[in-house]
Amino acid sequence: MGAVPKKKVSKARSSRRKAVWMRLDKPNLVECPHCRELMVPHHICRNCGYYRGVAYLEVEEGEA
């Protein structure tokens, strides 16, 4: 934590900083067009192994 006493920081200020943290913490994800799972954009989907309609990884499909 910072060196600023807690009482001196307004609620709005602290919450705003928290919001920035959240944004930095989570990478933006997109929905995989192939399996609809959340994936890192411009990367091979970890769930189905597809990227831009091409299967780069061999993933066993088929959910029980």
User: Does 55 participate in binding Zn ion (rule CB under 5 A)?
Assistant: no
Compute φ and ψ for 55, nearest 5 degrees: -85, 115
CB of 48 to Zn ion, least distance (A): 3
Q: In the 8-state DSSP scheme, what is residue 16? A: H
CB of 33 to Zn ion, least distance (A): 8
- Nearest to Zn ion of 9, 38 (CB atom): 38
Q: Which helix (H) or strand (E) holds 50?
A: strand 50-51
Q: In the 8-state DSSP scheme, what is residue 30? A: E
**Site residues (CB under 5 A) for Zn ion, limited to 13-52:** 32, 34-35, 45, 47-48
